């Protein structure tokens, strides 16, 4: 566990050393990010309410958005960690879906928090300037 936190800290510091201002975001779709933010909030609510169908639908939508993010950052070599963040977040969504399918809402909620953390770490490193 300690190694995982250490690795996350090192990755975060590396990401922070890169400036989002150095990335061309002219082709960036802000609506995708807003939809993902709304989706995470929706997941929080639906998983907490044990609304399996609603959470599965939201998770599918979130995965579609993350696929866009993954493709977007594939073409951004100036943001080397963002692609990994997108892939890690999609893996968390996949684990969330598996938990929901097993109706294990406690574990599902753990994955909701992991998805939210992954997004936060990426935003801290790569959020486009206002």
List the CATH code of the domain at 2-18+29-126.
1.20.120.10
Model pLDDT for residues 20-45, shown as the tens digit of each residue: 557 888 888 889 989 999 999 999 99
Model pLDDT for residues 62-105, shown as the tens digit of each residue: 999 999 999 999 988 888 899 999 999 999 999 999 999 999 99
The reported pLDDT for the residue numbered 16 is: 47
The reported pLDDT for the residue numbered 15 is: 47
DSSP H or E stretch at residue 115: helix 105-126
- Ordered by start, the domain boundaries in the chain are 2-18+29-126
Between CA 100 and CA 56 the distance in angstroms is 7
The reported pLDDT for the residue numbered 17 is: 45
Q: Model confidence at 19, in pLDDT bands (50, 70, 90)? A: low
The reported pLDDT for the residue numbered 7 is: 54
Q: Is the pLDDT of residue 8 over 90?
A: no
The reported pLDDT for the residue numbered 28 is: 82
pTM check: above 0.75: yes
The reported pLDDT for the residue numbered 23 is: 80
Between CA 82 and CA 34 the distance in angstroms is 17
Q: Is the pLDDT of residue 116 over 90?
A: yes
Residue among 73, 118, 72, 71 at smallest CA distance from 91? 118
State the number of CA atoms in the 13 A half-sphere of 85 facing the CB: 24
104 phi/psi in degrees, rounded to 5: -100, 85
């Amino acid at each position: 566990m300690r190694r995982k936190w250490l690795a996350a800290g090192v990755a975060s510091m590396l990401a922070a050393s890169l400036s989002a201002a150095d990335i061309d975001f002219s082709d960036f779709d802000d609506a995708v990010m807003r939809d993902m933010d709304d989706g995470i909030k929706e997941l929080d609510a639906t998983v907490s309410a044990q609304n399996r169908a609603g959470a599965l639908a939201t998770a599918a939508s979130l995965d579609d958005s993350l696929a866009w993010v993954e493709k977007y950052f594939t073409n951004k070599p100036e943001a080397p960690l963002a692609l990994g963040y997108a892939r890690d977040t999609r893996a968390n969504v996949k684990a969330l879906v598996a938990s929901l399918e097993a109706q294990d809402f406690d574990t599902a909620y753990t994955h909701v928090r992991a998805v939210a953390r992954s997004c936060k770490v990426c935003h801290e490193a790569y959020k486009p300037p206002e």
